[in-house]
Amino acid sequence: MESEQRKIAFICSKGDLDMAYPALVMGWAALGNGIDVTLFFTFWGMDMITKDRQKHLELAPVANTSMKMRLMGLPTGTLGIPNLLGIIPGMTAFTSWFMKKKMAKVGAPPVDEYLQMLVDAGAHLYACKMSVDMFGLTKEDFVEGVEDIVTAGDFMDMTEGSQIIFI
């Protein structure tokens, strides 16, 4: 019963804490189901694989219309966190800390550990050449597991037949 090997590629373009998780969660599920997984990190998404950034991804409350105060257990209905409060020093650190706590509660490991799990399970990680050049990074700036720095064209070649998800 040989069927064609299913392949999924994720393009990770965001470096916010909350936007790091979709590819990790879905990529892990895909690997668990025997699907080939490739992750391509571009622009801010490279924070997910950059050694000195990976553990410090943040979630800012300013201009985040989905982040309601009730997330913190306050009986405030659908009231958001006022942008004016969001600009207080320490607020981004607070909301980031809070989100990390929420993620841990559902059993999701931190971004660095999660990504390592995907690598150990056989995911292929690549960084975007144009973004690397633009931000002045090199392969040494990235965590182990990042296989190469590739162009958009290379990515198209290596993902032939894959389902592609842009995040």
Partner 1 sequence: MTDLVNVAFNAEGFMTDPTQWTKEIAEILAKQEGIEVLTTEHWKIIDYCRTTGLASGKAPTLRQITVGTGITTKDLFALFPKGPAKKVAKIAGLGKPEGCV
3 scored as a contact of partner 1 (CB under 8 A): no
The tokens 């992750």 sit on which residue? 39
List, in order, residues 6 or more apart from 152 with CB less than 8 Å away. Answer: 128, 129, 130
Closest approach of Cβ 143 to partner 1, in Å? Answer: 16
Stretch that binds partner 1, among 30-38, 60-68, 93-101, 159-167 (CB under 8 A): 30-38
| CA–CA separation, 102 and 59 (whole Å) | 12
Residue with smaller CB distance to partner 1, 22 or 80: 22
Residue with smaller CB distance to partner 1, 8 or 46: 8
107 scored as a contact of partner 1 (CB under 8 A): yes
Residue with smaller CB distance to partner 1, 92 or 116: 116
Residues in contact with partner 1 by the rule CB under 8 A: 25, 28-29, 31-35, 106-109, 116-117, 120-122
